[in-house]
Amino acid sequence: MEVDQPQVSAPGTGASTAAIENPPGAAPSPEAARTSPLMTDVARAAGVSPMTVSRVLNGHPSVRPETRQKVLEAVERLEYRRNSAARTLATRRSQTIGVVAFDSTFYGQAACVRGVEHAARAAGYFVSIATVKEVNERSLGEASDSLVAQSVDGLVVVTPRASVLEELRERAVGVAMVVAGGSPHSGLPTASADQEAGGRRATRHLLFRGHETVWHVAGPEDWDDSHGRLVGWQSALADAGAIEPRVIRGDWTAASGYQAGLELARHRDVTAVFVANDQMALGVMLALKQSGRRVPEDVSVVGFDDIPEAAFFDPPLTTIRQDFEELGRRSMRLLLQAMETGSVASSAPVIPEFVGRLSTADAGAVANGLR
């Protein structure tokens, strides 16, 4: 369990200064005694009312973006910090958000959690994180129970696994809860990416380059991300009238991608592969290279996620970029709305972006002397 503690500044010198400026025994003036800015100071600096400042800090949706930006800039400029103890007593809220994260060693999961943290802090909330190593009913229950025991105001569950979402629907935790990265059809308020659109874009790119068909290295079956990308791949092939090859499964790791690459190398007619994430694509490309198949001259490869290392693969990997931090931010906005209103609908899916690099080429590029 990792808990982000609020940063506490060292005591300032305002009290001693007040004692010098005022006669002995006299009470210091309010201006001299106060060492920290108030919400009214932020309101004055931003040219808005204190109520508007409060709405911005609480993530209220009915604030214009330009007004929100002015308030946040004033907060940063004045180094304003709310008195969390006083606020807890007044509102009976802990100003803490709980985050349940799975497989946090994966880039996407970690980046999504980071997005939740940034958005929570911007809204004046602390974050307590429970990381679950094994996804099952017991670990899920222990993680959510431990966070609820800390009196968190709401929960963000970062998982794209369908089996976990089924358990979440059945489990009442007593606080507002949203999902980051799951299926928009899960029955829970969810911030998701359009995985099907990403899968279609990757596959269409390879078909556009003249490849007769595209093989697919998919992720685990019970991950919604994996299913969505596979459906996108299938729909792109169907639209083009291309043959759908047998799906090869991996577990998101480079090692499983390497095994998939060895299998692909045995099929000499393979010229294009869409891999469901960048780590597996790394393993696929190494296996192809060691088997005498060049990328992209013999086999074009497209990944998914655009991890920071993707631009430094050999060759640099063409991939589909997911904005994981935006997923985290959207999930936090959904949670704030759920805590405010008691109910909220899922947000519109984040659309992945195509990132072209050097791991794909036109079909027959070697024979034509082209790249």
Q: Residue 102 is inside which H or E element, if any?
A: strand 96-102
Token pair of 356, please?
């072209």
Q: Alpha-carbon distance 80 to 121, whole Å?
A: 12
Q: Alpha-carbon distance 163 to 165, whole Å?
A: 5
Q: Alpha-carbon distance 213 to 237, whole Å?
A: 7
Split at pLDDT 50, 70, 90, the class of 5 is very low
Mean pLDDT of the chain: 82
Report pTM.
0.73
Split at pLDDT 50, 70, 90, the class of 277 is very high
Token pair of 95, please?
């100003």
- pLDDT score for 170: 66
Contact 28, 21 (CB under 8 A): yes
The residue among 343 and 241 whose pLDDT is bigger is 241
- pLDDT score for 93: 63
247-266: average pLDDT:
97
Split at pLDDT 50, 70, 90, the class of 10 is very low
- pLDDT score for 62: 73
Q: Give me the helix-helix angle, 162-170 and 137-149, nearest 10°.
A: 50
- What is the CATH topology of the domain spanning 89-193+324-350? Rossmann fold (3.40.50)
Q: Alpha-carbon distance 128 to 304, whole Å?
A: 29
pLDDT at 87 > cutoff 60: no
- pLDDT score for 82: 60
Split at pLDDT 50, 70, 90, the class of 92 is low
Q: Alpha-carbon distance 154 to 150, whole Å?
A: 11
pLDDT at 346 > cutoff 50: yes
- pLDDT score for 11: 37
Cα-only R_g, the chain: 26
- pLDDT score for 182: 76
- pLDDT score for 29: 44
The residue among 272 and 121 whose pLDDT is bigger is 272
| Burial of residue 24, with CB atoms counted within 10 A of its CB: 0-12 exposed, 13-18 middle, 19 or more buried | exposed
- pLDDT score for 174: 72
Boundaries of every domain in the chain: 89-193+324-350, 195-322+355-368
Cα distance from N-terminal residue to C-terminal residue, the chain: 50
CB atoms under 10 Å from CB of 54, counted, come to 16
Lowest mean pLDDT among 32-46, 79-93, 230-244: 79-93
- pLDDT score for 142: 81
Token pair of 360, please?
């794909």
- pLDDT score for 313: 97
- Closest by CA to 109, choosing from 252, 227, 284, 6, is 252
- pLDDT score for 81: 66
Q: Alpha-carbon distance 277 to 251, whole Å?
A: 10
Alpha helix locations (H) across the chain? 14-21, 30-33, 39-46, 50-57, 65-78, 84-91, 107-122, 137-149, 162-170, 195-208, 224-240, 254-265, 278-290, 324-341, 365-368
Q: Percent of the chain, pLDDT > 70?
A: 79
- pLDDT score for 13: 37
Lowest mean pLDDT among 55-64, 162-171, 304-313: 162-171
Token pair of 125, please?
């909330």
Domains 89-193+324-350 and 195-322+355-368 share a fold: yes
Helix, strand or coil for residue 355? Answer: strand
Q: Alpha-carbon distance 270 to 196, whole Å?
A: 23
- What is the CATH topology of the domain spanning 195-322+355-368? Rossmann fold (3.40.50)
104-133: average pLDDT:
87
Query: What digits encode the pLDDT tens for the residues 153-185?
Result: 999 988 777 677 676 666 656 788 888 887 777
Q: Alpha-carbon distance 231 to 108, whole Å?
A: 20
